[in-house]
């Protein structure tokens, strides 16, 4: 039948299309810039929170500048922790 020929032709075409496409999907990895962005936002976000808490503590407890200094360091450490967690999550995949 004509339909069967058509189907076989279609099947062949799908297979060739697949064989062309497979190597392309393998190299589908994230760009370096996107990766850097992810890491840097993690550090910045933790630092922003740390500095914010430090400033609030200083304002209400009158411990200027020690609250800022201590919570800045805590914020930086939390940033490293965030980066470590992101890296571990990526490694798992």
Partner 1 sequence: MASKGEKHSPLEQFEIIPFSNTEIAGYDISFTNSSLSMIITVAFITLFLTLTVNPRSLVPSRMQLVSELMYNFIATLLSDTVGNNGKKYFPFVFSLFMFVLIGNMVGMVPYQFTFTSHIIVTFALAAIVFIGTTILGFANHGIKFFSFFYIPGVPFYMHPLLIPIEVISYLSRPISLSVRLFANMLAGHTLLKVFAGFVVAMPFFTGVFPLVFIVALTGLEILIAFLQAYVFAILTCLYINDAYHLH
**Residue from 55, 58, 63, 82 binding partner 1 (CB under 8 A):** 82
In angstroms, give the least distance from the CB of 40 to partner 1.
9
**Any idea what DSSP says for residue 43?**
H
Decide: helix, strand or coil at residue 28.
coil
81 lines the binding site for partner 1 (CB under 8 A): yes
Q: Quote the CA–CA distance of 52 and 46 in Å, as a whole number.
A: 10
Under the binding rule (CB under 8 A), the answer on residue 87 touching partner 1 is no
CB 58 within 8 A of CB 68: yes
Contacting residues toward partner 1, per CB under 8 A: 30, 34, 37-38, 41-42, 44-46, 48-50, 53, 71, 74-75, 77-79, 81-82, 85
């Amino acid at each position: 039948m004509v339909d069967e020929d058509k189907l076989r032709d279609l099947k062949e075409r799908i297979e060739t299309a697949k064989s062309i496409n497979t190597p392309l999907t393998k190299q589908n990895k994230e760009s370096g810039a996107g990766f850097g962005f992810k890491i840097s936002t993690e550090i910045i976000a933790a630092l922003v929170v740390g500095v914010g808490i430090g400033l609030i503590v200083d304002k209400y407890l009158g411990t200027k500048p020690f609250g800022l200094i201590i919570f800045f360091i805590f914020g930086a450490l939390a940033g490293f922790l965030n980066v470590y967690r992101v890296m571990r999550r990526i490694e798992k995949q």
